[in-house]
Every structure is written in C-alpha cells, then in structure tokens.
Amino acid sequence: MGYPDEYLCDMQALLGKGFGAFRAALQEGGHAALRLNPLRSGAEALLHGICTDVVPWEPRGRYVREGFRPGADPLYLAGGYYMQEASAMAPARVLDPRPGERVLDLCAAPGGKSGQLAAALEGKGFLVANEPDSRRARALAGNLERLGVANAAVLNQLPERLARAFPDAFDAVLVDAPCSGEGMFRRDPETRAQWSKANVLGCARRQKAILLEAARMVRPGGRLVYSTCTFNALENEENVEALLRARPDFAPAPFSLPGVGDARDGCLRLWPHEIRGEGHFVALLRRSGGAPAPVFPRLSPDGEARHAWGQLLSMVPGDWPRPFGGWTPRFAGDTLWLLPPGMPEFKGLLCLGAGLRLAARSGRILRPHHALAMAADPARVRDRMELDPVQCALYLRGGTLPTPCRGWTLVTRHGLALGWGKGAEGILKNHLPKGLRIGSGNAL
Ligand code: SAM
C-alpha cells in the first residue's frame, strides 16, 4: 500500500528541502527497540546478541537486531524488558518524573510509557495510568503487572470525569494522545489506509478537549507533556497553541533531548530521516505557581486486612515486604491490596486496581496473587525454585514439576520471577494464571 497523495503534499509543504530525505526514509524498514526494565536487574546481560546499541535519548532503550521477536522468551514474560519503538521512549523522558512525584498518564494503553514513568519513580510516589477503552485498560493492567509495577493505579475513565475528581492533583501529566498516526505509516500500513483530512480534523478536535482536561489536573508549578505520533501541525503545534490561549497560566518549557536536539520553544519533532526511530511530536509545558499537590487523606488499614497481611507473611516468608514499609494493606471485595503512601481513593471511578495486588481470599483461604510474584524482589523471598530451560518451558505451559519445596514457592528463571507454584509431596503445583500460560492465546 502506498502513501496517500494528499499526505505526501502536506509533508512536502512542511519539510521543504528535507522532503527528499524523508521520502527516502519511508522506503527503509524501521528500527526495532526494547526498553530494559530497571525493576528487574540483570536482564541486559541475558539479552546478549539481541541488543545492538543504546537509544541516545533513553539510557535504558536498546535497538535490537533485525527480526527479533520476544515470543515466549521467559525473560520477556518475567518483565525483564518491554518492546517499545525508540521514538516512543521520548515523551516520558521529557516529562522526567522523579521518585516521590504523583504522575498521571492520561491515555496510557498499552502501557509502554506508563512502564517507563513507573520505572523513573523507583517505587516512590505513584502513577495513575488511565485508559478509557476497557479492553485496552485490561491490557495496560496486565503489562504493568508483568513489569512488576506496584505503585500504580489503573483507571478506565474519560478525561473529564478524572479532571472533576482530581483538580490540580498531579506533579506531572502525560497526554500521549490518540492521533492520525502519520509517524507510524512506515511500520503500520493500516494507519495509512485510515488516513484522511477529515480524520486528522477529528483527531485534532478530540486532542484539544483531552489536553484541556489534562491541564486541569496539573498542580501549580507542575509539568504537562503532550505527545503524538503524527506530523501535521493541526494535531501538534496548533493544539498546544490552543491550550496556551485557553490557559495563560501554562507556558512552553525549553528542553533538550540527547541525539535529537533542542526544543527552544518547548516543542520537538522526531523525524525518521534524522534519527533511528519513527515520527513523533513532543511538547513540554509548565504551569506557573509553585503550590504542592494536595495531600490525599491517609488511608487507614482495616483490621481484617491487617490480619490477612500477617497471614500472607507467614505463607510467603522472607524480608520481601521491606521495600513496602509505610504501605497500607486494604481489602477490596476479596482481594487484598497494598497501597503506596499518598495514593488517593478512587471511589466512584472505574478502577481496575490500585497498588499491589497481594492475595485473593476465598472463604478462609488466602492465595498469593501473581502480581505479588512479579513485584517482590526474588532475592528477598525465602522459598524459591530456579528452573532450567526444560522445566521453564513446562511451567510456562501450565505443567507441574517435581520439587523438594513445600508450600508457596516463587518460580524463577535466571533469578527473575515467573510466578508461583505450591509444593506438596514432591510435586510443585502450577499457579501461573491460566490466561498467561503459553498456548492460552495470550497476546505476547
Ligand atoms: N501511551 C500509550 C503507550 O505508550 O503505550 C499509547 C497511547 S495511544 C497513542 C492513545 C490511547 O488513547 C489509546 O489507547 C486510546 O484508546 C486512548 N484514547 C482514546 N480516546 C481517548 C480519550 N478521549 N481520552 C483519553 N484517552 C483516549
């Protein structure tokens, strides 16, 4: 499938002399990349022969050799890395969240940037990852769970509903807006087929509305990053200008992106003929003032949750809870959660989960949740079973294994957690969730 003529004319007008190089770049293949997950140390050494070089603007980004697909790679399933297009790593770098901040990712699925934002928080502060499409929100929750993110909430709301609940609430907000996808045309012929001027106008209108709602949630002195993977000015600069007209308390903030350049006016484009990545647009805006984000009421643990927490600690011995000092155990229905300090309640909002999902209760029985396996540091869990490649393949397919272990056991490969097993009478029963087993039709 070729490129729409109208689109090529627009690009020629936008690029002038640079159009020839751009057109030539469209004939080349893209550059696959992944981002190492710092919440899983040691993954890089295991990717020997796969990673080529570092993505200049993301220290954890790596280009990968041609044709690499994670498939059923245990390292991928253990959250060691996330496949992410190199240019798509730019917006979260520009937002640059720091540990302890409250961060909102408003258009978050499938979660590449949310994972990157959570990694930057290093487990301190929290991330609200929102996605209004419910199917995509579930995929987002699954990806964050696989990456071992504990200090995030996954919401499934439209921006206006969130903005009513959380005015002035976040230090940093990312709007990675749904767009016409011109920057992805090279990799994704389907987006080319869907392109039309009318679609561009429709996207621009929707983005403008999203951006206005996002601005309502930035605290005075806070940051807002607006990004798209498209080139036209209607969806990019013109939306930023519209926001600045509506909200004079926001101003563009200059920034530099290594390997790309300086954004003196707060806006930067990533062009496929200038960098090794697809097309992207990133704008950084700062709200004037300096008030801290409001403090949400401290959540108190209920007696039941405290009791269940104690029970869980005896079922899964080790000092794994140490990084979660100051977090609050709470029940939501029959699920036991651990909430990071400062996280608000999401009453009345569609919330797929907030904090770390610790365990599920069924009558008097408590079962550690898969999310706990993915978020706990394996070195701090006492009962572990390291698998060889054959055992690993069997475990990932849902098989049982011979074991000397008794009780709840963290199953690892290369020291990274894959899930739980429960040992009894020489057999390790498989507790990998059915939907995550190889052959279950799970999307990898
Ligand atoms: N940031 C994501 C990542 O890195 O994986 C990609 C986001 S994608 C470009 C845009 C997302 O916005 C889609 O998942 C789409 O469902 C969602 N979306 C659609 N309409 C929206 C709206 N009105 N408000 C917020 N998000 C919306």
Q: What is the pLDDT of residues 29-56, one digit of tens each?
A: 889 999 999 998 888 889 988 999 999 9
pLDDT grade for 444, boundaries at 50, 70 and 90: very low
Q: Is the Cα torsion angle 60, 144, 323, 320 positive or negative in sign?
A: negative
Q: What is the mean pLDDT of residues 301-310?
A: 90
Residue-level pLDDT at 235: 98
Q: Is 280 in the pocket of ligand 1 (CB under 6 A)?
A: no
Q: How far is CA 61 from the centre of its chain?
A: 14
Q: What is the mean pLDDT of residues 368-385?
A: 97
Residue 175 CA to ligand 1 center (angstroms) comes to: 8
Quick one: tokens of 150? 């504990």
| pLDDT greater than 80 at residue 296 | no
Q: Which of 171, 172, 173 is nearest to 292 (CA)?
A: 171
pLDDT grade for 189, boundaries at 50, 70 and 90: confident
Q: 409-440 burial, b for 16+ CB within 10 Å, e for fewer?
A: bbbbbbebbbbbbbbeeeebebbbbeebbbee
Residue-level pLDDT at 266: 98
The answer on 420 and 323 residing in a single domain is no
The answer on 71 and 134 residing in a single domain is yes
| pLDDT greater than 90 at residue 158 | yes
Q: What is the mean pLDDT of residues 395-400?
A: 97
Query: Nearest C-alpha to atom 12 of ligand 1 is from which residue?
Result: 107
Dmax (CA) of the chain: 73
Distance separating alpha carbons of residues 402 and 391, to the nearest angstrom? 9
Among 238, 270, 287, residue at a domain's last position = 287
Distance separating alpha carbons of residues 266 and 282, to the nearest angstrom? 8
Q: Is 176 in the pocket of ligand 1 (CB under 6 A)?
A: yes
The answer on 104 and 38 residing in a single domain is yes
| Tens-place pLDDT, residues 252-294 | 999 999 999 999 999 999 999 999 999 999 999 999 998 777 7
The answer on 283 and 302 residing in a single domain is no
Which atom of ligand 1 is the closest one to the Cα of 158? 24
Query: Among all residues, which ones are annotated catalytic?
Result: 229
Among 287, 308, 326, residue at a domain's last position = 287
Query: Nearest C-alpha to atom 19 of ligand 1 is from which residue?
Result: 178
Residue 288 CA to ligand 1 center (angstroms) comes to: 27
The answer on 430 and 324 residing in a single domain is no
Residue-level pLDDT at 299: 75
| pLDDT greater than 80 at residue 413 | yes
| Tens-place pLDDT, residues 81-135 | 999 999 999 999 999 999 999 999 999 999 999 999 999 999 999 999 999 999 9
Residue 181 CA to ligand 1 center (angstroms) comes to: 12
Residue 169 CA to ligand 1 center (angstroms) comes to: 20
Residue-level pLDDT at 140: 98
Q: Is 108 in the pocket of ligand 1 (CB under 6 A)?
A: yes
Query: Nearest C-alpha to atom 27 of ligand 1 is from which residue?
Result: 107
CATH number of the domain that residue 31 is part of: 3.40.50.150
Q: Is the Cα torsion angle 347, 126, 150, 380 positive or negative in sign?
A: negative
Q: What is the mean pLDDT of residues 169-194?
A: 93
The answer on 372 and 415 residing in a single domain is no
Residue 438 CA to ligand 1 center (angstroms) comes to: 28
Per residue, the 3-state secondary structure of the chain, as one string, reads: CCCCHHHHHHHHHHHHHHHHHHHHHHHCCCCCEEEECCCCCCCHHHHCCCEEEECCCCCCEEEECCCCCCCCCHHHHCCCEEECCCHHHHHHHHHCCCCCCEEEECCCCCCHHHHHHHHHHCCCCEEEEECCCHHHHHHHHHHHHHCCCCCEEEECCCHHHHHHHCCCCEEEEEEECCCCCHHHCCCCHHHHHHCCHHHHHHHHHHHHHHHHHHHHCEEEEEEEEEEECCCCCCCCHHHHHHHHHHCCCEEECCEEECCCEEECCCEEEECCCCCCCCCEEEEEEEECCCCCCCCCCCCCCCHHHHHHHHHHHHHCCECCCHHHCCCEEEEECCEEEEECCCCCCCCCCCEEEECEEEEEEECCEEEECHHHHHHCCHHHECCEEECCHHHHHHHHCCCCEECCCCEEEEEEECCEEEEEEEEECCEEEECCCHHHCCCCCCCC
pLDDT grade for 441, boundaries at 50, 70 and 90: low
- Number of domains present in the structure of the chain: 3
Q: What is the mean pLDDT of residues 349-354?
A: 96
The answer on 109 and 46 residing in a single domain is yes
Among 238, 265, 287, residue at a domain's last position = 287
Query: Nearest C-alpha to atom 17 of ligand 1 is from which residue?
Result: 107
Query: Nearest C-alpha to atom 15 of ligand 1 is from which residue?
Result: 178
Q: Which of 139, 136, 130, 141 is nearest to 163 (CA)?
A: 130
Q: Is 173 in the pocket of ligand 1 (CB under 6 A)?
A: no
The answer on 303 and 283 residing in a single domain is no
Q: What is the mean pLDDT of residues 189-218?
A: 95
Q: Is 131 in the pocket of ligand 1 (CB under 6 A)?
A: yes
CATH number of the domain that residue 426 is part of: 2.30.130.60
Q: Is 174 in the pocket of ligand 1 (CB under 6 A)?
A: no
| pLDDT greater than 60 at residue 417 | yes
The answer on 116 and 105 residing in a single domain is yes
The answer on 75 and 44 residing in a single domain is yes
Residue 195 CA to ligand 1 center (angstroms) comes to: 17
Structural contact between residues 204 and 238, judged by C-beta atoms closer than 8 angstroms: yes
| pLDDT greater than 50 at residue 302 | yes
Which atom of ligand 1 is the closest one to the Cα of 110? 5
Which atom of ligand 1 is the closest one to the Cα of 113? 4
The answer on 194 and 79 residing in a single domain is yes
Q: Which of 99, 96, 95, 67 is nearest to 83 (CA)?
A: 67
Q: Is 133 in the pocket of ligand 1 (CB under 6 A)?
A: yes
Residue 130 CA to ligand 1 center (angstroms) comes to: 9
Distance separating alpha carbons of residues 228 and 268, to the nearest angstrom? 11
The amino acid occupying position 216 is: R
Distance separating alpha carbons of residues 304 and 312, to the nearest angstrom? 12
Which atom of ligand 1 is the closest one to the Cα of 133? 16
| pLDDT greater than 90 at residue 397 | yes
Question: For the chain, what percent of residues have pLDDT higher than 90?
Answer: 88
The answer on 433 and 301 residing in a single domain is no
Q: What is the mean pLDDT of residues 292-316?
A: 86
pLDDT grade for 443, boundaries at 50, 70 and 90: very low
| pLDDT greater than 80 at residue 301 | no
Q: What is the mean pLDDT of residues 330-344?
A: 94
**Domain range holding 423?**
383-444
Q: Is 89 in the pocket of ligand 1 (CB under 6 A)?
A: no
Distance separating alpha carbons of residues 124 and 183, to the nearest angstrom? 34
> How confident is the prediction for the chain on average, in pLDDT?
95
